[in-house]
C-alpha cells in the first residue's frame, strides 16, 4: 500500500476524552487533509496547507466538497435478523421474538440461505459506513462460518459470536441446543475464528464473543458453564455480549419475567455470577471491559454502578427501543454512572442500518425525556457515541475510532450531493455568527441528514472496501 492523501471537510473526536468533555474534543477541519501511511495508519490529520513536505507528492484523493468522518461503530446488530427488519407481529419484545424472530432466525439452518444472508449483511454494513461492529450471531455454526469468512473477504472489522440458547418457546426449538453443545460449539467458534485473520488479537479484524441470547433463553447451568468458559478465555481477548433490561411492559415484560424466573434482585446479577435465588453467587462473572450489554433501558442504580466498576459498556439502541415500545434509556443518569455508552442499531429490532439514524433517534428521544431529565445532545456527543465511544466499548480505542496520528485508518467519505435534502440543508441552513455554534450546526445537519447514498467510500485500515 502506498501513502494516500484524502482531502475533504474533516470532523472527528480527537484524543480520548471522558464523555462529559467530548464537546471540547470536537475537531473540525473544513479544508482538511487526512494522510494514510503505507501501513494503513493515520500519518497526518490537519489543514491542507499544513501537509508536511514529505507527503506532497503522494497520491491525492480529492473528495471536496465532501466530508471525511471516522467509520461508524455499531455495537449491537443481529446477523440472523438481516431479513427481519420491520417484522410485524403485533406485540412488544417477547411476543415479537416468539412470533417473528425465532422463525426468521431458524431459516439460517439452510446452508445456502445463511451464506446469502452473510453476503447481504456485509453489504448493508458497508453501505451504512459501519466499519466495526459487535455482531449478535446465528445459532448455527455454518452460518457463523459464512459470516466470518465473508467479513474477512470484504475486509471489515467484527466482533461476534453464535447466539446461545438452551431453553425457550416451541418456535425457538431449532435454535436451542443441549447444555453440552452450547459450550462445545462456543469453544469451537473461539478456537476457529478468534483473531483468525492475523493470529494476533492486537492486529486482528476478527474477534469472537460469547453471546447468550438473554437470561430467559438460557439456564442457570448455562450461565455457570459460560462463566467457566469465559474465565478460561478472557486472557485471549474474547468478548461477552448479550441483552439487559430492555423491555418492561407490565405483566409480560422481559425485566420482571427474568427477575421472577431467577429470583434475583437485579437482572444484571444473572450475568454477574449471582444467578441463584436471592442473587446468591453460583458461578463466575461475565462482566468486564470487553463486555457489552444492549439496551439497559430499565437499569437500577446498583446495576449501572456495577457495570461502571467492571468496565462493562452499554449498546444504546433507541431506534429499536421505539420500534419495540421498550422505552427510553435515561441519558443523563446512565452517563452519570460512568459507563461507556455507544450506539447500536439492533437491526432487526431496529429498522435502520445507519448509525447516524440511531444518533438522530437518540437526539429526539432524549430531548423528549420528562422535565429536568430531558437533554439536547451536543452534536459532538452524537458523533462520539457513533464512533469513538464504540471503539472504547470494544476495548479497541487505541486502534481506531478517530483520526489521531498512529491509529488504524477506518474512515468514510460522505458526499452530500448524493442526497439532495442533505446537500440543500448544508448549503442553505441558518448558521450562527458564532463560529463554534455554526460548526456544531453544520455537524448536526450532517449527522441528521446522512442517508446511505451519501456514503460513497468506506475504508478499513486504509484499504478501500468494495461495496459489491
Which residues are at the interface with ligand GUN (CB under 6 A)?
78, 93, 97, 101, 213-214, 243, 246, 320, 346, 349
82-87 long-range Cβ contacts below 8 angstroms, 24+ apart: 82/117, 82/120, 82/121, 82/124, 82/347, 82/348, 83/117, 83/120, 83/348, 84/348, 85/347, 85/348, 85/350, 85/351, 85/352, 86/348, 86/351, 87/348
Q: How far is the CB of 43 from Zn ion (least distance, A)?
A: 38
Q: How far is the CB of 210 from ligand GUN (least distance, A)?
A: 15
246 binds, among ligand GUN, Zn ion, none (CB under 5 to 8 A by kind): ligand GUN
Whose CA is closest to 163, among 120, 71, 101?
Answer: 101
115 binds, among ligand GUN, Zn ion, none (CB under 5 to 8 A by kind): none
In this structure, what DSSP letter does residue 311 have? T
- The C-alpha atoms of residue 393 and residue 298 are separated, in whole angstroms, by 20
Q: How far is the CB of 346 from ligand GUN (least distance, A)?
A: 5
Whose CA is closest to 377, among 15, 13, 23?
Answer: 23
254 lies in the site for Zn ion, by CB under 5 A: no
327-346 residues in contact with Zn ion (CB under 5 A) are 346
**Site track for Zn ion across 340-379, x = CB under 5 A:** ------x--x------------------------------
272 binds, among Zn ion, ligand GUN, none (CB under 5 to 8 A by kind): none
72 or 267: CB nearest ligand GUN: 267
162 binds, among Zn ion, ligand GUN, none (CB under 5 to 8 A by kind): none
Q: How far is the CB of 440 from Zn ion (least distance, A)?
A: 31
78 or 194: CB nearest ligand GUN: 78
- The C-alpha atoms of residue 133 and residue 382 are separated, in whole angstroms, by 17
Return the C-alpha torsion angle 319, 324, 326, 330, nearest 10. Answer: 0
Whether 244 and 291 have beta carbons less than 8 Å apart is answered as: no
349 or 379: CB nearest Zn ion: 349
Return the C-alpha torsion angle 224, 199, 459, 410, nearest 10. Answer: 60
408 lies in the site for Zn ion, by CB under 5 A: no
Measuring CA to CA, how many Å separate 280 from each of 123, 178, 225, 452? 45, 25, 16, 48
316 binds, among ligand GUN, Zn ion, none (CB under 5 to 8 A by kind): none
* Residue nearest ligand GUN, Cβ-based: 349
Give the residues lining the site for Zn ion (CB under 5 A).
294, 346, 349
Amino acid at each position: 500500500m502506498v501513502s494516500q492523501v484524502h482531502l475533504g471537510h474533516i470532523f472527528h473526536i480527537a484524543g480520548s476524552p471522558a464523555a462529559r468533555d467530548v464537546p471540547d474534543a470536537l475537531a473540525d477541519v473544513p479544508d482538511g487533509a487526512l494522510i494514510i501511511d503505507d501501513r494503513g495508519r493515520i500519518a497526518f490529520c490537519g489543514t491542507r496547507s499544513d501537509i508536511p513536505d514529505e507527503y506532497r507528492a503522494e497520491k491525492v484523493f480529492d473528495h471536496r466538497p465532501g466530508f471525511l468522518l471516522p467509520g461508524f461503530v455499531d455495537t449491537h446488530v443481529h446477523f440472523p435478523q438481516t431479513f427481519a427488519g420491520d417484522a410485524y407481529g403485533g406485540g412488544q419484545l417477547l411476543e415479537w421474538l416468539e412470533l417473528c424472530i425465532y422463525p426468521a432466525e431458524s431459516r439460517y439452518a439452510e446452508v445456502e440461505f445463511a451464506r446469502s444472508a452473510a453476503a447481504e449483511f456485509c453489504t448493508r454494513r458497508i453501505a451504512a459506513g459501519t466499519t466495526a461492529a459487535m455482531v449478535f450471531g446465528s445459532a448455527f455454526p455454518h452460518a457463523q462460518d459464512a459470516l466470518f469468512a465473508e467479513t474477512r473477504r470484504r475486509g471489515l472489522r467484527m466482533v461476534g459470536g453464535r447466539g446461545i440458547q438452551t431453553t425457550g418457546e416451541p418456535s425457538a426449538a431449532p435454535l436451542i441446543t443441549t447444555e453440552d453443545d452450547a459450550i462445545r460449539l462456543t469453544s469451537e467458534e473461539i478456537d476457529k475464528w478468534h483473531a483468525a485473520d492475523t493470529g494476533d488479537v492486537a492486529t486482528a479484524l476478527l474477534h469472537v464473543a460469547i453471546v447468550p441470547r438473554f437470561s430467559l433463553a438460557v439456564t442457570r447451568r448455562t450461565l455457570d458453564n459460560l462463566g467457566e468458559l469465559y474465565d478460561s478465555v478472557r486472557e485471549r481477548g474474547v468478548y461477552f455480549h448479550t441483552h439487559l433490561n430492555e423491555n418492561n411492559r407490565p405483566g409480560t415484560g422481559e425485566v420482571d419475567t427474568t427477575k421472577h424466573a431467577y429470583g434475583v434482585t437485579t437482572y444484571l446479577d444473572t450475568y454477574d455470577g449471582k444467578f441463584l435465588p436471592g442473587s446468591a453467587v453460583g458461578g463466575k462473572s461475565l462482566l468486564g471491559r470487553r463486555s457489552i450489554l444492549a439496551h439497559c433501558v430499565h437499569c437500577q442504580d446498583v446495576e449501572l454502578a456495577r457495570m461502571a466498576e467492571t468496565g462493562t459498556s452499554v449498546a444504546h439502541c433507541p431506534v429499536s427501543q421505539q420500534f419495540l415500545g421498550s422505552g427510553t434509556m435515561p441519558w443523563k443518569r446512565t452517563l452519570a454512572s460512568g459507563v461507556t455508552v455507544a450506539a447500536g442499531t439492533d437491526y432487526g429490532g431496529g429498522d435502520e442500518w445507519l448509525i447516524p439514524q440511531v444518533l438522530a433517534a437518540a437526539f429526539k428521544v432524549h430531548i423528549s425525556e420528562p422535565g429536568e431529565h430531558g437533554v439536547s445532545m451536543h452534536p459532538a456527543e452524537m458523533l462520539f457515541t457513533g464512533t469513538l465511544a464504540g471503539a472504547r466499548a470494544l476495548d479497541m480505542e487505541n486502534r481506531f475510532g478517530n483520526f489521531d496520528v498512529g491509529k488504524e485508518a477506518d474512515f468514510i467519505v460522505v458526499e452530500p450531493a448524493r442526497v439532495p435534502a442533505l446537500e440543500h440543508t448544508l448549503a442553505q441552513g441558518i448558521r450562527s455568527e458564532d463560529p463554534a455554534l455554526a460548526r456544531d450546526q453544520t455537524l448536526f445537519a450532517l449527522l441528521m441528514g446522512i442517508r446511505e447514498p451519501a456514503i460513497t467510500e468506506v475504508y478499513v485500515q486504509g484499504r478501500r472496501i468494495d461495496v459489491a
